[in-house]
Amino acid sequence: MNIVISKIKKHIENNYTQFIKNFLRLLECPSVSTDKEGIEKAVDVIVELLKEVGADVKTYKIDGGNPIIYGEIKGDKNSSIMFYDHYDVQPVDPLDRWISPPFKPRIEDDKIYARGASDDKGNLISRILAVKTLKDSLGELPVNVKFLFEGEEEIGSPSLPKFVINYKEQLKADVCIWEGGGFNKNGRPMIYLGAKGVIYVELRVKRRGDDLHSSWGTIIENPAWRLVSALSTIRDIKGRILIDGFYDEVIDDPEAEELISKINIDRSEIEAMTSNGELIEDLPLPDLLRRWLLSPTVNICGIYSGYVEKGQKTVLPSHGFAKLDIRIVPRMHPDRVLMLLKKHLAKFGFSDVEVEILNHGYPAARTSPNTPQVRLAKLVAEAVSSKEAVVFPNIAGSGPIYLITDILGQPCFSFGVNHPGSNIHAPNENLIINNFMKGILQCSLYLLNFDSWVRLGNAPYLNA
CATH number of the domain enclosing 330: 3.30.70.360
Confidence band, pLDDT 50/70/90 cuts, at residue 1: low
Mean pLDDT of 313-328: 97
Percentage of residues in the chain with pLDDT exceeding 90?
A: 90
* 287, part of any domain: no
Specify whether 316 is located in the same domain as 416: no
Residue 463: what pLDDT?
76
The pLDDT tens digits for 283-310 are: 999 999 999 999 999 999 999 999 999 9
Specify whether 49 is located in the same domain as 173: yes
Phi/psi at 378 (5° precision): -65, -45
Secondary structure of residue 133 in the 3-state scheme: helix
* 271, part of any domain: no
Report which secondary-structure segment, H or E, holds 49.
helix 39-52
Specify whether 119 is located in the same domain as 241: no
The lowest-confidence range among 84-88, 154-158, 201-205, 300-304 is: 154-158
Mark which of 311, 338, 362 sits at the end of a domain: 362
Q: Give the C-alpha separation, 80 to 385, whole Å.
A: 25
Q: Give the C-alpha separation, 241 to 134, whole Å.
A: 49
**275 pLDDT more than 90:** no
Mean pLDDT of 9-18: 97
Mark which of 336, 362, 388 sits at the end of a domain: 362
* 437, part of any domain: yes
CATH number of the domain enclosing 7: 3.40.630.10
How many CB atoms lie under 10 A from the CB of residue 238?
Answer: 8
Which residues, other chains included, contact 336 with Cβ-Cβ below 8 Å and sequence gap of 6+? Answer: 249
Specify whether 32 is located in the same domain as 160: yes
Q: Give the C-alpha separation, 306 to 314, whole Å.
A: 9
Mean pLDDT of 37-53: 97
Q: Give the C-alpha separation, 124 to 129, whole Å.
A: 9
The pLDDT tens digits for 399-427 are: 999 999 999 999 999 999 999 889 999 99
Mark which of 343, 362, 381 sits at the end of a domain: 362
* 163, part of any domain: yes
* 273, part of any domain: no
Specify whether 67 is located in the same domain as 155: yes
Which range marks the domain in which residue 234 is found? 196-250+295-362
152: left (phi over 0), alpha (psi -120 to 50) or beta: alpha
**360 pLDDT more than 90:** no
Which residues, other chains included, contact 225 with Cβ-Cβ below 8 Å and sequence gap of 6+? Answer: none
**5 pLDDT more than 60:** yes
Predicted TM-score (pTM) above 0.85? yes
Specify whether 33 is located in the same domain as 129: yes
Which residues, other chains included, contact 239 with Cβ-Cβ below 8 Å and sequence gap of 6+? Answer: 280, 281, 291, 297
Domain count, the chain: 2
Q: What rounded mean pLDDT belongs to the chain? A: 95
Residue 76: what pLDDT?
84
* 461, part of any domain: no
Which residues, other chains included, contact 107 with Cβ-Cβ below 8 Å and sequence gap of 6+? Answer: 20, 113, 433
Residue 265: what pLDDT?
80
Residue 464: what pLDDT?
59
Q: Work out the angle at residue 153's Cα, subtended by the Cα atoms of residues 148 and 157, and round it to the nearest 5 degrees.
A: 85
The pLDDT tens digits for 325-337 are: 999 999 999 999 9
How many CB atoms lie under 10 A from the CB of residue 24?
Answer: 17
DSSP 418: B
Specify whether 152 is located in the same domain as 80: yes
**273 pLDDT more than 80:** no
The pLDDT tens digits for 363-401 are: 999 999 999 999 999 999 999 999 999 999 999 999 999
Q: Give the C-alpha separation, 254 to 250, whole Å.
A: 13
**359 pLDDT more than 90:** no
Residues 66 and 46 sit within 8 Å (Cβ to Cβ): no
Residue 145: what pLDDT?
98
CB half-sphere exposure, 318, CA atoms < 13 A: 5
